[in-house]
């Protein structure tokens, strides 16, 4: 039998370089929509797929739905037909490449939840055709492409590396970061064979300034987990140092600033109220889960996770101590949170430690309110809150403020001067002093 893979690969590469290929992106969230916009901006006919009818309707009308993409770009690209958003997965059949950018959360048991990936691959398998390139971007454990995605696609009767091309390329999006974006963050790609790697590399070379090819999907999958495990473990270390410095009556922030003057061998990480977001609190557990399947216990990862998860409770303890010094109990105390997003200048509350702090405060009988210009409401199960503007919060009055997210919109001078007590978990009040200010 004649091997047609080289011909199929070259044909695909030629069309990718000519920007005549039709590309698709499944999942139009913080990863998928910016990627689809870059493809469309480069001249590709691009179709974005999502199961959320409302989101598809809004994107079709030019609304980026809170994602880090300029509304003007979405309006222009949907207006000229370069970018189409749809819920009709039958349109996958007409595409030359498909990128999967769906969520990969954890179950309550800290095991990987690949249900969104599986659902996306099932739709692709229904419409898979010869010469098509499939790239998984969703963060997952090493072996997902080989053990889950490839068998599902090959159940169609087509063979990976012969009839279609398959690769993994980890997303590296940093929400709210205007310096490093989809277009200039180097892209790592690893295919199931040389042809798949070359096809995926060519695809990304049309929209990204640098593409780094690795030897396999497993390596590419491991790259993302290393990046975020590195951050989680180091944040866990500095959080433990913060707890230690508190007991030793040492300013951990001053220690870090001084250590950072060393021009080699040191990289600053900063303590905080806990870990949040779509990656750092979750990805290390993907790695430790997979390691356990091989009988390996990842002690650093588990310990860092334990320390980071304990930080919201430590923050509440600091609030109890601050109120206690004023002879006020936490029960019935009015506590106001400045920021509930997981990081500054974004509206994302996924895994946000501020929500854990709010829950702990409420269970202890406190009255909780918050200000966050990026999050108008919080509706997380039993935690339901409506945002209060800072000025209104000061007029209403509260017993203690907690700076949980250092949004640039906040007037920290006003917070420091008008709050009866402040627990600053982000060093946002650096350079300000007063007996009422309590730092992490």
Q: What is the pLDDT of residues 261-277, one digit of tens each?
A: 999 999 999 999 999 98
Q: Is the pLDDT of residue 110 over 90?
A: no
For residue 4, the model assigns a pLDDT of: 62
Q: Which of 65, 101, 245, 279 is catalytic?
A: 279
Q: What is the mean pLDDT of residues 128-142?
A: 96
pLDDT interval class at 287 (50, 70, 90): confident
For residue 116, the model assigns a pLDDT of: 97
For residue 293, the model assigns a pLDDT of: 87
Structural domains in the chain, sorted by start? 5-225 (3.40.50.720), 249-439 (3.40.50.720)
Segment among 80-89, 99-108, 315-324, 330-339 with least mean pLDDT = 99-108
The sign one gets for the Cα dihedral 423, 426, 429, 434 is positive
The mean of the pLDDT values for the chain is: 95
**Percent of the chain scored above 70 by pLDDT?**
99
Q: Is the pLDDT of residue 1 over 50?
A: no
Give the model confidence (pLDDT) of 221-243 as tens digits. 999 999 999 999 999 999 999 99
Q: What is the mean pLDDT of residues 199-205?
A: 98
Residue 279 falls in the annotated catalytic set? yes
Q: Is the pLDDT of residue 3 over 80?
A: no
Rounded to two decimals, the pTM is 0.91
Q: Is the pLDDT of residue 411 over 80?
A: yes
Segment among 15-19, 86-90, 345-349 with least mean pLDDT = 345-349
């Amino acid at each position: 039998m004649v091997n047609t893979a080289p011909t199929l690969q070259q044909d695909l590469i030629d069309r990718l370089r000519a920007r005549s290929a039709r590309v698709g992106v499944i999942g139009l969230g913080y990863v998928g929509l910016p990627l689809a916009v870059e493809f469309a901006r480069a001249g590709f006919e691009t179709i974005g797929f999502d199961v959320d009818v409302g989101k598809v309707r809004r994107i079709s009308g030019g609304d980026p739905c809170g994602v880090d993409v300029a509304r003007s770009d979405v309006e222009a690209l949907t207006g000229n037909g370069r970018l189409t958003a749809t819920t009709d997965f039958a349109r996958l059949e007409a595409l030359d490449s498909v990128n999967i950018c769906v969520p990969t959360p954890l179950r309550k048991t800290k095991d990987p939840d690949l249900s969104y990936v599986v659902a996306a691959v099932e739709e692709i398998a229904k419409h898979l055709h010869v010469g098509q390139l499939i790239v998984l971007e969703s963060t997952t454990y090493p072996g997902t492409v080989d053990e889950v995605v490839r068998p599902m696609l090959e159940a169609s009767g087509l063979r990976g590396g012969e009839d279609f091309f398959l690769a993994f390329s980890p997303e590296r999006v940093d929400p709210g970061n205007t310096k490093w974006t989809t277009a200039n963050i180097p892209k790592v790609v690893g295919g199931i064979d040389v042809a798949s790697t070359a096809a995926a590399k060519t695809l990304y070379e049309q929209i990204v300034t640098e593409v780094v090819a690795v030897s396999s999907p497993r390596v590419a999958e491991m790259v993302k987990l290393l990046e975020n495990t590195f951050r989680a473990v180091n944040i866990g270390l500095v959080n433990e140092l913060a707890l230690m410095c508190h007991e030793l009556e040492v300013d951990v922030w001053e220690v870090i600033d001084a250590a950072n003057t060393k021009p080699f061998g040191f990289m600053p990480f900063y303590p905080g109220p806990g870990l949040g977001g779509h990656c750092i609190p979750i990805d290390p557990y993907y790695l430790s889960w997979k390691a356990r399947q091989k009988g390996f216990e990842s002690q650093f990862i588990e310990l860092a996770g334990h320390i980071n998860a304990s930080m919201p409770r430590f923050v509440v303890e600091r609030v109890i101590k601050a109120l206690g010094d004023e002879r006020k109990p936490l029960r019935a105390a009015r506590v106001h949170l400045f920021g509930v997003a997981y990081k500054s200048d974004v509206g994302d509350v996924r895994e946000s430690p501020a929500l854990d702090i709010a829950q702990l405060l409420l269970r202890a009988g406190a009255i909780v309110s918050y200000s966050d210009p990026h999050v108008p409401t919080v509706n997380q199960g039993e935690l339901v809150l409506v945002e209060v503007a800072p000025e209104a919060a000061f007029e209403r009055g509260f017993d203690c403020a907690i700076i949980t997210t250092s949004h640039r919109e906040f007037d920290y001078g006003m917070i420091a001067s008008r709050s009866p007590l402040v627990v600053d978990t982000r060093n946002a009040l650096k350079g300000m002093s007063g007996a009422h200010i309590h730092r992490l």
